[in-house]
Copies of this chain bind each other. A is one copy, B any other.
Amino acid sequence: MSKFAVAQSGGPTAAINATLLGVIEGALENGTQILGAVNGIKGVIDDNFMNLNNIFEDAQNRALLKNTPGAYLGSCRIKLPDADSDTDMYERIFEVFKKNDIDKFIYIGGNDSMDTVDKLSRYAKEHNIDIAVVGAPKTIDNDLAGTDHTPGFGSAARFVASSVKEVARDSGVYAEKSITIIEIMGRNAGWLTASSSLARSENSSAPHLIYLPERPVSREKIIEDIKNCKENNIIIAVSEGIKDENGEYYCAQATQSHDIFGHAQLAGCAKVLEKFLGDEFGYKMRSVELSVLQRCGGHFTSLTDLDESERIGKSAALAAAKGKRGIVMGFKRDGDYVCNIVENNVCDVANKERKVPDEFISADGNDVTDEFIKYCKPLIMGDVQVITENGVPKHIIR
């Protein structure tokens, strides 16, 4: 008897569990048993699975899963070695799959996780192992190739835009001039920072300046941009990874460490800006780091995002059930706004990074274009009825 396995990988989001739900629904619809590997590919290596059928035949548990941020199965940041250099690891993984009768494996994750899908698919093909490995994308960073947008991005964008609008209400109460810098996640791609533009409405102009990692900007240019602002209470949205005209990270003055993929762990560019802009202007200064709240804010998600995240998970499961392999699901937009699900070859997606394109960034490099707003707005739409318990969101926990 064949079985599904599913695992989650990379950073948590508010929608990755909606995708897990979709995968489970696909398996249930297919009448197949489904096992969850605990802590991503590590759970496979350790032969650490949990049976998901019983728990999620319950409708209340399914509803809770869709609304619980984080990663129900746990996550990992393990990067698989090349199959040539460490065959033991691969033999172990496929031995565990075989032992558990698993012939369909759905891996939900971001850039690095799709590399795992790619490597497992290649190994299976080269060794004639009959297992369908399919990737389901997720990342708040929206930087995956082969998809119009990524599951998880819409909810994070909604939280960012709403928070920026609320911080603008907060900073606007005093008559004195002020500058507030809001630091938003985004190492090399500024999608989430760009989404702060959705805070704007007829009567609310913040954020007044938006700086993305795609456009290096000098201190002098930022100062000039602020001098051109007419507002009393200026709100600036910046990506954590913004760089100066020499390509140096603004956060370089803060402590830097690296994660196991060699990505610089950035923090603190807002503090650096707060300091030099305070020295320059003498206004009241504040910096706000949205920190992990922007990716785990399950209390104000986008219904569009949660629904699409669920759909793409189910599509991944059904594709695997049909024997598809070595693919990653993606979104394709039609008109404005229909979201279709497509299949990509994993080798076209893995290890690629999709940055904010030129047509979405203003000529002056300190804002987004109307085209970006048109692109992004549908992704944050739709109110979710949060399930609460004693006044706080109710979660389902493994």
Least distance between A294 CB and chain B CB atoms (Å): 10
Say yes or no: A76 contacts B296, CB within 8 Å: no
Q: Which of A268-308 contact B (CB under 8 A)?
A: 286, 288-293, 295-300, 302
**Residues of B contacting A8 with CB < 8 Å?**
173
A389 and B200 alpha carbons, distance in the complex (Å): 10
Say yes or no: B394 contacts A12, CB within 8 Å: no
Say yes or no: A39 contacts B175, CB within 8 Å: yes
Chain B binder among A26-34, A63-71, A122-130, A332-340: A63-71
Chain B binder among A49-57, A111-119, A163-171, A217-225: A163-171
Least distance between A54 CB and chain B CB atoms (Å): 17
A8 and B172 alpha carbons, distance in the complex (Å): 13
Say yes or no: A292 contacts B386, CB within 8 Å: no
Among B289, B295, B389, B391, point to the contact of A291 (Cβ < 8 A): B289
Among B76, B169, B397, point to the contact of A68 (Cβ < 8 A): B169
Q: Which of A362-393 contact B (CB under 8 A)?
A: 377, 380-383, 386, 388-393
A203 interface contact, C-beta 8 A: yes
A76 and B291 alpha carbons, distance in the complex (Å): 29
A201 interface contact, C-beta 8 A: yes
Say yes or no: A296 contacts B169, CB within 8 Å: yes
A381 and B389 alpha carbons, distance in the complex (Å): 9
Considering only CB atoms, which chain B residue lies closest to A288 in the complex? Answer: B291
**Residues of B contacting A394 with CB < 8 Å?**
201
**Residues of B contacting A11 with CB < 8 Å?**
173
Q: A170-B70, A175-B39 in contact; A397/B204 too (CB < 8 A)?
A: yes
A296 and B163 alpha carbons, distance in the complex (Å): 8
A177 interface contact, C-beta 8 A: no
Least distance between A276 CB and chain B CB atoms (Å): 14
| Number of A interface residues in the complex (CB < 8 A) | 62
A13 and B42 alpha carbons, distance in the complex (Å): 45
Q: Which of A172-205 contact B (CB under 8 A)?
A: 172-175, 198-199, 201, 203-204
A207 interface contact, C-beta 8 A: no
Considering only CB atoms, which chain B residue lies closest to A298 in the complex? Answer: B166
Among B69, B70, B173, B291, point to the contact of A70 (Cβ < 8 A): B173
A293 and B163 alpha carbons, distance in the complex (Å): 7
Say yes or no: A70 contacts B377, CB within 8 Å: no
Q: Mark A1-29, 1 if CB is under 8 A from B, else 0.
A: 00000001001100000000000000000
22 contacts across the A-B interface (CB closer than 8 A): A8-B173, A39-B174, A70-B173, A74-B172, A74-B175, A77-B174, A161-B392, A166-B293, A167-B293, A169-B397, A170-B292, A170-B295, A172-B397, A198-B390, A201-B390, A201-B394, A204-B397, A288-B291, A290-B293, A293-B293, A381-B391, A383-B386
10 closest pairs, A vs B, by CB? A70-B169, A170-B296, A380-B391, A75-B173, A71-B173, A166-B296, A203-B397, A162-B392, A381-B391, A39-B175
